Amino acid sequence: MSPKEFTDYLAKNFQINFSDLDLLKEALTQRNFLNENPKETGRDYQRLEFLGDAIMQASVTEYLFKRYPEWDEGQLTEMRITMVQTKSFAHFAKVIHLNEAIRLGKGEEMSGARERPSLLEDIWEAFIGALFLDQGQKAVDSLLMQTVFSAIDENFFDQFIDFKSRLQEKLQAKGAVDIDYTIEGEERNEDNTQVFKVSVSLDDHILAYGYGSSIKDAEKAAAQQALVDLTE
Amino acid sequence: MSPKEFTDYLAKNFQINFSDLDLLKEALTQRNFLNENPKETGRDYQRLEFLGDAIMQASVTEYLFKRYPEWDEGQLTEMRITMVQTKSFAHFAKVIHLNEAIRLGKGEEMSGARERPSLLEDIWEAFIGALFLDQGQKAVDSLLMQTVFSAIDENFFDQFIDFKSRLQEKLQAKGAVDIDYTIEGEERNEDNTQVFKVSVSLDDHILAYGYGSSIKDAEKAAAQQALVDLTE
């Protein structure tokens, strides 16, 4: 994707129009690209990443604080950890096509860095830093509403939560010990895909059922349902 | 200090006027205070601390990023670590007299919690969170300009920097090994206080001198001077 194609894409899909295109370029520039192109002026993305990392953390914190007025600091912290992590930011970097716009060194390109989660996380943060400097906190919040924050409503972050561990911690805190997962059934959908039904039980008393296309997914779903039931 | 005295103090000295006094109260309330006063409504400071911690981090980050345009992310990170730490925030909590306004449980009061750095840090962050919610980022920046940021110009944070370790790391990175500190002299000021003069040398070549009221302080000053000379 050329710089022009990328800025057009940002404008059309996310209403983002950079005033200082050098700032955007800096956010997209990996160190080896500069080494290989000595005529290039400007820096790599790392300073902007330093800024954007803190801006992301504060933006997510403020959003969660206001969205969940009844949550205590433990619940808020847990949710923030789930949202502010490499896999999450790498995903959103791809959602806005940052991966296609990175100015990457040749060696890095060959080794597949353009799809590497740790680089995508860095570039996401650097991009947020550049957007913050160029357009301010409101523009950052607007982009996050269209990506990271709306993903909460789509249960996007569930995939990063270890519901089985969380259920175990919760039950052990109450003194309980014997948690079992049992396969209760196995069916086939109309399209011939498998569905597993799993129960989770505490001291031989069934807490909840879960369904999934693998036993692992079904167990996770059962643990998640049990947590929901316990919290209500 | 009564709540009224404290709000008057904030208004007079820092131009801070809270609209929502319940928010300020929450930031100043320690958990045991609520346990001991069952008629009290509202929460303790911990949710606001969760918010204020992230706001502090982002505010300091933005300030350093803009103040030191030539610094790389390593230098910026090092300075931020020095500024954003328990001892630092505990100091500034006292500067604005937060310690005198904390609503503390009796047991905590007896055990000296009002002067405990970890509690003062928490209360500082909670106060920043409350100020951010009530008056916005500009009010936070204004307070920080009068406290944390102006302290940079007064070399306040030097006390938290281990200049001897930093010099050693810098010289070792260049392959050097034999760093020595030598007492070069000892004098008395007119007021009869002692002053030590210490040199720091690398492979028998003197890099810099330092002065201090203890040998330790003089060594630190010598290391700091050597670092300045090396950077120039």
Task: Categorize the per-residue pLDDT at B16 as very low, low, confident or very high, splitting at 50, 70 and 90.
Answer: very high
- Distance, in Å, from the CA atom of B142 to the CA atom of A13, rounded to the nearest integer, reads 36
State the average pLDDT over residues B218-224.
Answer: 94
Torsion of CA A56, A58, A64, A66, to 10 degrees: -130
Collect all residues with Cβ–Cβ distance below 8 Å to B48 and sequence separation of at least 6: B23, B26, B27, B125, B126, B127, B129, B130, B133
3-state secondary structure B175-215: CCCCEEEEEEEEEECCCCCEEEEEEEEECCEEEEEEEECCH
The reply to whether residue B47 touches residue A137, judged by beta carbons under 8 angstroms, is: no
Q: What residues of B are in contact with residue A61 (Cβ under 8 Å)?
A: 50-51, 53-55
At A18 the pLDDT is 96
- Distance, in Å, from the CA atom of A209 to the CA atom of A200, rounded to the nearest integer, reads 6
Q: Is the pLDDT of residue B106 over 70?
A: yes
State the average pLDDT over residues B55-83.
Answer: 96
- Is A49 annotated as a binding-site member? yes
For the residues of A3-31, what is the DSSP string, one character each? HHHHHHHHHHHH----S-HHHHHHHTB-H
Domain boundaries, chain B: 3-160, 163-231
Q: A3-160 — its CATH code? A: 1.10.1520.10
For the residues of B113-129, what is the DSSP string, one character each? GGG-HHHHHHHHHHHHH
Q: How far is A52 from chain B (nearest CA, A)?
A: 9
The percentage of residues in chain B with a pLDDT greater than 70, rounded to a whole number, is 99
Residue B61 contacts A, CB cutoff 8 Å: yes
Residue in the structure block whose two tokens are 């030097």: B158
Give pLDDT tens digits along chain A (232 positions): 888 899 999 999 999 999 999 999 999 999 999 999 999 989 999 999 999 999 999 999 999 999 999 999 999 999 999 999 999 999 999 999 999 999 999 999 999 999 999 999 999 999 999 999 999 999 999 999 999 999 999 999 998 988 999 899 888 887 767 899 999 999 888 888 889 999 999 988 999 999 999 999 999 999 999 998 887 7
Q: How far is A126 from chain B (nearest CA, A)?
A: 12
At B207 the pLDDT is 94
Q: Which CATH class is domain B163-231?
A: alpha beta
Residue type (1 letter), B156:
F
Q: What residues of A are in contact with residue B137 (Cβ under 8 Å)?
A: 137
At A193 the pLDDT is 84
List A209's β-bridge partners, or say none: A199
- Distance, in Å, from the CA atom of B16 to the CA atom of B143, rounded to the nearest integer, reads 8
Task: Categorize the per-residue pLDDT at B187 as very low, low, confident or very high, splitting at 50, 70 and 90.
Answer: confident
Could you tell me what percentage of chain A is helix, strand and coil, using 3-state DSSP and rounding each to the nearest 5?
Answer: 65, 10, 25
The H or E element containing residue B223 is helix B215-231
> What are the strands of the beta sheet with B179-188, ordered from one edge?
B179-188, B194-202, B205-212
DSSP class of residue A102 equals -
Q: Is the pLDDT of residue B51 over 70?
A: yes
The percentage of residues in chain A with a pLDDT greater than 70, rounded to a whole number, is 99
Residue A57 contacts B, CB cutoff 8 Å: yes
Greatest Cα-to-Cα distance within chain A, rounded to the nearest angstrom: 70
State the average pLDDT over residues B90-114.
Answer: 95
> Which residues between 126 and 145 in chain B have a beta carbon less than 8 angstroms from any beta carbon of chain A?
132, 137
Burial string for A98-121 (b: 16+ CB within 10 Å, else e) reads: bbebbbbbeebeeeebbeebebbb
Select from B57, B62, B65 the Cβ nearest to the Cβ of A57: B57
Minimal-distance CA residue of chain B relative to A57: B54
Residue in the structure block whose two tokens are 């020595």: B180
DSSP class of residue A103 equals B
At B176 the pLDDT is 65
At A175 the pLDDT is 79
At A176 the pLDDT is 65
- Is A122 annotated as a binding-site member? yes
Burial class (CB in 10 A: 0-12, 13-18, 19+), B153: exposed
